[in-house]
């Protein structure tokens, strides 16, 4: 799953939540960066005809983001539950959006919605050499 969030002061908190909830999930890529407008336009291409597209690209370009890649069993599904609903007002307390967001237009985090889209998004944000291929030392204790 590829996650990207726009509040770098919460890096530790977000990683902590994935490490605690996603037992067996491995962080295999991490970048702190200023995303270019071109990268953001490509990332949100499916919203190109939406009235929120321009504002979303401007918002995400207004400051640094932290892009992450997590691997693990059902990590996309688990990640989506941890993020909460797209509309923070509909997100439960304890989810990232439920705890740290107020409005959709200033959403704190993006998460891939499918394995297929995760692959596409990872290739936009990361070069293969930027991803680490490893297995956690506790993997055999977590997975059958």
Annotated catalytic residues are 110
Q: Are 23 and 70 in contact (CB under 8 A)?
A: no
Q: At what angle do helices 11-21 and 75-83 cross, to 10 degrees?
A: 130
Nearest to 44 by CA among 63, 13, 36: 36
Q: Which two structure tokens, joined as six digits, stand for 97?
A: 């959006």
Distance (Å, whole) CA 40 – CA 43:
5
Give the H/E segment covering residue 117: helix 115-125
Write the DSSP symbol of residue 92: P
């Amino acid at each position: 799953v590829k996650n990207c969030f726009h509040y770098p002061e919460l890096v530790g908190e977000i990683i902590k939540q994935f490490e605690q909830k996603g037992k067996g999930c491995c962080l295999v890529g991490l970048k702190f960066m200023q995303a270019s407008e071109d990268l953001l336009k490509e990332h949100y291409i499916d919203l190109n005809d939406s009235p929120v597209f321009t504002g979303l690209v401007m918002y995400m370009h207004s400051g640094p983001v932290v892009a992450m890649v997590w691997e693990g069993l059902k990590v996309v599904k688990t990640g989506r539950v941890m993020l909460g609903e797209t509309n923070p007002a509909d997100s439960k307390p304890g989810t990232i959006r439920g705890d740290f967001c107020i409005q959709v237009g200033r959403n704190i985090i993006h998460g891939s919605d499918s394995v297929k889209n995760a692959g596409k998004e990872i290739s936009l944000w990361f070069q293969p050499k930027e991803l680490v291929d490893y297995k956690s030392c506790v993997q055999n204790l977590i997975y059958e």
